[in-house]
């Protein structure tokens, strides 16, 4: 069975929702995972923020505008009056629920419930659309099976049991439809997998049902060799290894939620990224096959905080690093990059919620300085043994950029540097010169030696 995830743009209008019905596999069952229509999650978050800051009038106005947008979509999406009426009733009823919840005052829990409506609406509309077309499909609500534990990790045992139960209760169906992004948490409340989390939903589902492929359908023809939002003339890569894709996703390539790769990698499930707007394009395959060496792609992750820790007496003495990392451990803050010298260590975090407490704790035994607004630029590829001077290429390209930190050698798939965020766009563009020519060669090497999955 295949899992197909369609992102916000892919369900972003009546026309787009209509066209994805043609992309479903003809001769095997599949699970379709849907995001909210593009813009909806942002709007729902804004509505909850307005409501929480006592701006109820604006919140209600936004609800009305969003409802009108969905009514217009329903009118275009369905052919028959019966389905248009049915769709309109569903939208009216859903938005009545949203308005009542918002008017009643929003807790954190209530806000999460509002945000979940985006995925629930697109999923219901798509299933109704398939039914109107005469396709047999079954809706399997994500809230009945997708669950995270108290550490916010997927509860794989629970998910597997419950999704299989849902699938088995509709045995003569080819198309199962569910929501991406939303889940229940350890206490059973409605929660979500974080922004962009529908990719992760698809990967988790692929893992528990042992899918033969997870397809991520989006608005671009696969993973590009650089970030197309900041660099012109980027081009798609035909293939990436799991490790390369995981580095890119973690270090900012928005096309994939940072956690998408791991659930597929552990079961060696191929992940195929495809463009809904141009389904004939090859897209990018992420899998475990022979992988040409070299630099493949560049990504950047903003919002990084660097913490510099100086201690002339204790550094490199036994237990110093242990003492530093114990603080991060206790305050449940992940560290991304680390560099060391005789007298200092620098490290980066992307979640600065506990920054004050972290600096307070470390200040007890070292001098601490903090730099905000940093960006990690990540150069991804296969640099086994640095045979071809890849690092030299990178640093030569970046000679005009003041580099703050360098990390190389942690894996053979990643060279990371950190810079002040103001230098990000220039750095990405300078690095484009070293990936641009290489991408065509990499893709042609693949064509010469066919993929074997
Ligand atoms: P979806 O709504 O389908 O999940 P996203 O907006 O989350 O789509 O991800 C697709 C977008 O990711 C692209 O439109 C592109 O702007 C951005 N992006 C960032 N880095 C890359 C990259 N390396 N390759 C392709 N797209 C990228
Ligand atoms: N709709 C959610 C978001 O905008 C999840 C997703 O699109 O993957 O973050
Ligand atoms: Mg996305």
**Where is the domain boundary, 192, 219, 246?**
219
User: What is the C-alpha separation between 63 and 210, in angstroms, rounded?
Assistant: 39
For ligand 2, atom 9, the nearest C-alpha belongs to: 195
- Count of Cβ atoms closer than 10 Å to residue 251 Cβ: 23
285 within a domain of the structure (yes/no): no
Cα–Cα distances in Å, from 333 out to 35, 337, 339?
28, 13, 17
Query: Which tens digit of pLDDT belongs to each residue from 140-158?
Result: 999 999 999 999 999 999 9
Residue 3 β-bridge partners = 31, 214
Ligand 2 contacts CB of residue 41 (under 6 A): yes
What is the 91 CA–ligand 2 centroid distance (Å)? 20
396 within a domain of the structure (yes/no): yes
- pLDDT (mean) for 287-307: 90
Ligand 1 contacts CB of residue 218 (under 6 A): yes
The total number of residues shown for the chain amounts to 453
User: What is the C-alpha separation between 194 and 200, in angstroms, rounded?
Assistant: 9
The answer, as to whether pTM is greater than 0.85, is: yes
Question: Which atom belonging to ligand 2 lies closest to the Cα atom of 181?
Answer: 5
Whether residue 359 is predicted with pLDDT greater than 70 in this model: the reply is yes
Q: How confident is the model at residue 252, as a pLDDT? A: 87
What is the 371 CA–ligand 2 centroid distance (Å)? 30
Whether residue 74 is predicted with pLDDT greater than 80 in this model: the reply is yes
Judged by its nearest atom, the ligand closest to the C-alpha of residue 36 is 2
255 within a domain of the structure (yes/no): no
Do residue 215 and residue 300 come from a single domain? no
Test site for ligand 1: of 228, 239, 424, 428, most ligand atoms within 8 A of the Cβ = 228
Number of domains in the chain: 2
153 within a domain of the structure (yes/no): yes
Whether residue 104 is predicted with pLDDT greater than 60 in this model: the reply is yes
Three-state secondary-structure class, residue 190: strand
| CA angle (281, 260, 440) in 5-degree steps | 35
- pLDDT (mean) for 182-204: 98
Pair type for strands 239-241 and 294-310: unpaired
Got the DSSP string for 165-186? HHHHTSTT-SEEEEESSEEE-T
267 within a domain of the structure (yes/no): no
Q: How confident is the model at residue 312, as a pLDDT? A: 64
177 within a domain of the structure (yes/no): yes
Residue 310, domain CATH: 3.30.2130.10
Ligand 2 contacts CB of residue 259 (under 6 A): no
245 within a domain of the structure (yes/no): no
Q: How confident is the model at residue 453, as a pLDDT? A: 42
- pLDDT (mean) for 24-37: 96
Whether residue 450 is predicted with pLDDT greater than 80 in this model: the reply is no
Q: How confident is the model at residue 205 (pLDDT cuts 50, 70, 90)?
A: very high
Interior/surface letters 377-387, b for 16+ CB within 10 angstroms, e for the rest: bbbbbbbeeee
Q: How confident is the model at residue 387, as a pLDDT? A: 66
Domain with 400 in it: 296-448
Ligand 1 contacts CB of residue 377 (under 6 A): no
Whether residue 451 is predicted with pLDDT greater than 60 in this model: the reply is no
For ligand 2, atom 5, the nearest C-alpha belongs to: 196
Query: Which tens digit of pLDDT belongs to each residue from 120-142?
Result: 999 999 999 999 999 999 999 99
Judged by its nearest atom, the ligand closest to the C-alpha of residue 439 is 1
Do residue 211 and residue 314 come from a single domain? no
Q: How confident is the model at residue 452, as a pLDDT? A: 47
- pLDDT (mean) for 251-270: 95
Do residue 53 and residue 176 come from a single domain? yes
What is the 322 CA–ligand 1 centroid distance (Å)? 38
Ligand 1 contacts CB of residue 223 (under 6 A): yes
Q: How confident is the model at residue 30 (pLDDT cuts 50, 70, 90)?
A: very high
**Where is the domain boundary, 175, 190, 219?**
219
User: What is the C-alpha separation between 450 and 453, in angstroms, rounded?
Assistant: 10
Question: Which atom belonging to ligand 2 lies closest to the Cα atom of 196?
Answer: 8
Residue 36, domain CATH: 3.40.1160.10
């Amino acid at each position: 069975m295949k899992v197909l995830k369609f992102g916000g743009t892919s369900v972003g209008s009546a026309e787009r929702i209509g066209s994805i019905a043609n992309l479903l596999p003809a001769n095997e069952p599949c699970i379709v995972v849907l995001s909210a229509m593009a813009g909806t999650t942002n709007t729902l978050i804004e509505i909850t923020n307005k409501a929480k800051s006592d701006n109820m009038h604006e919140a209600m106005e936004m609800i009305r505008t969003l409802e009108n947008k969905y009514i217009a979509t329903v009118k275009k999406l369905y052919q028959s009056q019966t389905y248009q009426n049915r769709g309109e009733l569903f939208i009216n009823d859903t938005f009545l629920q949203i308005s009542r919840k918002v008017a009643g005052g929003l807790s954190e829990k209530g806000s999460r419930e509002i945000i979940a409506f985006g995925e629930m609406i697109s999923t219901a509309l798509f299933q109704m659309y398939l039914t109107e077309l005469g396709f047999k499909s079954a809706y399997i609500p994500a809230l009945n099976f997708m669950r995270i534990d108290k550490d916010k990790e997927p509860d794989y045992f629970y998910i597997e049991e419950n999704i299989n139960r849902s699938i088995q209760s509709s045995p003569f169906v080819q198309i199962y439809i569910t929501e991406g992004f939303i889940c229940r948490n350890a206490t059973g409340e409605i929660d979500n997998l974080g922004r962009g989390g529908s990719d992760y939903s698809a990967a988790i589902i692929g893992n528990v049902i042992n899918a033969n492929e997870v397809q991520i359908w989006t608005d671009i023809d696969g993973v590009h060799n650089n970030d197309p939002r900041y660099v012109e003339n980027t081009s798609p890569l035909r293939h990436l290894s799991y490790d390369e894709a995981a580095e890119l996703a973690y270090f900012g390539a928005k096309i994939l939620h940072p956690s998408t790769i791991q659930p597929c990698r552990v079961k060696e499930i191929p992940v195929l990224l495809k463009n809904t707007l141009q389904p004939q394009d090859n897209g990018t395959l992420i899998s475990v096959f022979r992988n040409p060496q070299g630099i493949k792609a560049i990504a950047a992750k903003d919002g990084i905080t660097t913490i510099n820790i100086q201690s002339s007496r204790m550094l490199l003495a036994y237990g110093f690093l242990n003492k530093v990392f114990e603080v991060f451990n206790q305050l449940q803050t992940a560290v991304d990059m680390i560099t060391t010298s005789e007298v200092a260590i620098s490290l980066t975090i992307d979640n600065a919620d506990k920054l004050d407490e972290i600096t307070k704790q470390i200040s007890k035994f070292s001098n601490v300085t903090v730099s905000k607004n940093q960006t990690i630029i990540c150069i991804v590829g296969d640099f086994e043994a640095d045979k071809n001077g890849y690092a030299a290429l990178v640093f030569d390209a970046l000679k005009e950029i003041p580099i703050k930190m360098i990390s190389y050698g942690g894996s053979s798939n990643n060279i990371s540097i950190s810079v002040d965020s103001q230098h990000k766009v220039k750095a990405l563009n300078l690095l484009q010169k070293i990936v641009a020519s290489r991408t065509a060669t990499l893709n042609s090497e693949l064509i010469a030696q066919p993929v074997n999955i």
